[in-house]
Amino acid sequence: GEDVEQSLFLSVREGDSSVINCTYTDSSSTYLYWYKQEPGAGLQLLTYIFSNMDMKQDQRLTVLLNKKDKHLSLRIADTQTGDSAIYFCAEKPGANNLFFGTGTRLTVIP
């Protein structure tokens, strides 16, 4: 089955860049997604990338996709304390269901 892996924790200082990494298994995934979850809340869509793209930039967010290595990353520029949350990557291999990684807890140190 699908196995999406992420490191569990990341700490950065306010103002630095954060890079959250993800590896996925299904090369047929058409889209790959990044979601953010704050305490007690649902999942907020941050961005997504189509599998035939290498990079996508959206304001402070940059997504890089290495399809050969099945590696996805999310870079947050100028990280703020409000960015502290759990970040999930997800793949959608075919049918309309998402397979999520374990989530990376980002802590921003003031």
Q: Which parts of this chain interact with other proteins (CB under 8 A)?
A: 31, 33, 35, 41-45, 48, 50, 88, 92, 95-103
Nearest 5 degrees, angle CA 105-CA 25-CA 66?
Answer: 80
SS3 81: helix
- Report the residue number, 79 or 90, with the smaller CB distance to other proteins: 90
Q: Give min distance, CB of 51 to other proteins, in A.
A: 11
Nearer Cβ to other proteins (47/62): 47
CA dihedral 60, 68, 90, 23 (to 10 degrees): -90
Rounded least distance, CB 57 to other proteins, Å:
17
Region of 15 (left: φ > 0; alpha: ψ -120 to 50; beta: rest) is left
Q: Which is nearer to other proteins, 9 or 50 (CB)?
A: 50
CB of 31 to other proteins, least distance (A): 5
